[in-house]
Amino acid sequence: MNKRYSSEGPNPPLLGYARVSTEEQLNDAQVIELNTAGCTQIYEEHGSGASRVRPVLAKLLREIRAGEVLVVVRLDRLARSVSHLLQVIEQLEAKG
């Protein structure tokens, strides 16, 4: 598999995902935490947690590569149900 980093390097690339529910809300606090954690790229999205239709998350899941690490501030920013969380985890595992 193609990798964007050397597996011999000390740290894999960290990709952040920040989501808020409405257009009026800001991702600022999440973005600050993700930057502090060392994320090299942050995907930001506005969308209800109740909806599984999340174009930015779908793009991230398509683009993430083996060895990269997805970082979220809280699990409820990634998924609002156990079944959705398991679906995302399965997609990430399939990518390595």
pLDDT, tens digit (0-9, with 9 covering 90-100), for 45-74: 987 766 667 899 999 999 999 999 999 999
H helices then E strands: how many in the chain?
4, 3
pLDDT, tens digit (0-9, with 9 covering 90-100), for 4-39: 444 445 688 999 999 998 788 888 999 999 999 999
- Which residues pair with residue 89 across a beta bridge? none
Which residues are part of the catalytic machinery? 21
Mean per-residue pLDDT of the chain = 85
Please name the fold of domain 14-95: Rossmann fold (3.40.50)
Cα–Cα distance, 80 to 65 (Å, whole number): 24
State the pLDDT at residue 49.
60
